[in-house]
Copies of this chain bind each other. A is one copy, B any other.
Amino acid sequence: MSDRITIDHGSGGRASLELLQSVFLAGFDNPILNNTEDSALLTINRERLAFTTDSYVVEPIFFPGGNIGDLAVNGTINDLAMRGAVPLYLSTGMILEEGLPIADLRRIVASMRRAADLAGVRIVAGDTKVVPAGKADRIFINTSGIGVVAEGVDIGGSKGLPGDKVILSGTMADHGITILCQREGLTIRGDFASDTAPLHHMVAAMLAAQPGKTHVLRDPTRGGVATTLKELATASKVGIVIRETSLPVRAAVRGACELLGIDPLYLANEGKLLAFVAPEAADQAVALLRRLPHGEDATIIGELTADHPGEVLLETVVGSRRRLDMLHGQPLPRIC
């Protein structure tokens, strides 16, 4: 490992994982802090709570489909939902660069409020710091969140079982390609927009309709679907096979990815979930998701196997199998 922080350490791929393991997990070392979960599961007296934190440094701060504010609110809601929690309360810690137009700040705050209202959560604690011009990039937002986990709900990255179906709730790479094209000033033909959206309603519906049938939930953000699946294969000690022909990608997004030489499997999503669901429940789960907002393109993309634990294989269009690894060697900075 390099002796200095590199952009790659923030891309959500292999370098991020190495930093996490060698510095943070080694340093903080406790059983609740878990590298493969989106939020910590706490038991405080009689309550089971999920607790999570995320900092947002996305550039640009305004982009088609959203801005850093609703991205931050939805992202933390989703990290709570991926433990099966009902999100309740958020905090927001802002780091502002001197010179930021207050009109921009108001617009961001209004988006945060709207996103929170839509999801039925409240922003109850906040903090604001200011740094001199040149010491930050306009605005960075931390959102932390608390949710409640109902009795009997037991969702976690290590709970996948061979035979489980892998469900993806919609198209891949919309957020990542939108940010990259904005940043590069690319005017690729295509109507891109970030998919930033809350996912807790999908989780609530799945858990209510088929209790115990959903084993793993994860939103494939930094590092994309491929990196997330690789993490989950490792955590659940299962193999995963996904079929390239089943992967939902908008045609324009696919075209842009080809042009940029980037695999949509490695681009960030901000309003999609992966679910590992018991095989007998998978079709009903997909049908349910398709009736919900942001779930119309939900589909089964593969399944878990007892073979090749820890490995993710992609069955390509031509029938060959390709091993998918975590994102590495291709830093995608400040995607969220």
Contact of A30 with B99 in the complex, beta carbons under 8 Å: no
User: A10, A28, A116, A123: which has the most chain B beta carbons within 10 Å?
Assistant: A28
Q: Does A20 contact B (CB under 8 A)?
A: yes
A269 → chain B closest CB, angstroms? 17
A51 to B88, CA, bound (A): 12
For A24-60 the 0/1 string (1 means CB < 8 A from B) is 1001111011000001101011110101111111000
Across the interface, which residues of B come within 8 angstroms of A89, CB to CB?
Answer: 32, 40, 42, 51
Complex alpha-carbon distance, A125 and B179, angstroms: 27
Q: Interface 1/0s, chain A 305-330, versus B by CB < 8 A?
A: 00000000000000000000000000
Could you tell me the distance between the alpha carbons of A126 and B123 in the complex, rounded to whole angstroms?
Answer: 19
Q: Which chain A residues in 173-206 approach chain B with CB under 8 Å?
A: none
Task: Decide if B10 touches A131 in the complex (CB within 8 Å).
Answer: yes
Chain B residues positioned under 8 Å from A46 (CB to CB): 45-47
Instruction: Give the residue of B27, B103, B126 whose beta carbon is less than 8 angstroms from that of A28.
Output: B126
Chain B residues closer than 8 Å to A140, beta-carbon distance:
95, 129, 136, 140
A33 partner, pick from B9, B10, B97, B126, beta carbons under 8 A:
B126
Residue of B3, B5, B39 near A96 (CB, 8 A) is B5
A292 at the interface (CB under 8 A from B): no
Given A55-B94, A140-B95, A113 and B27 touching (CB < 8 A)? Answer: yes
Which residues of chain B are within 8 angstroms of A40 by Cβ–Cβ distance? Answer: 89, 91, 124-125
12 A-B contacts (beta carbon < 8 Å): A4-B98, A5-B99, A5-B100, A20-B126, A24-B126, A32-B89, A40-B125, A44-B49, A45-B46, A52-B91, A53-B91, A57-B95
On A, residues with C-beta under 8 Å from B are 1-11, 16, 19-20, 23-24, 27-30, 32-33, 39-40, 42, 44-47, 49, 51-57, 88-89, 91-103, 105-106, 109-110, 112-113, 116, 122-132, 134-137, 140, 142, 144, 146, 148, 333-334
Given contact pairs A28-B116, A47-B47, enumerate 14 new A-B contacts (beta carbons under 8 Å).
Answer: A2-B102, A4-B102, A5-B99, A6-B130, A7-B130, A19-B102, A27-B106, A33-B124, A45-B46, A51-B124, A51-B146, A55-B95, A55-B127, A57-B136
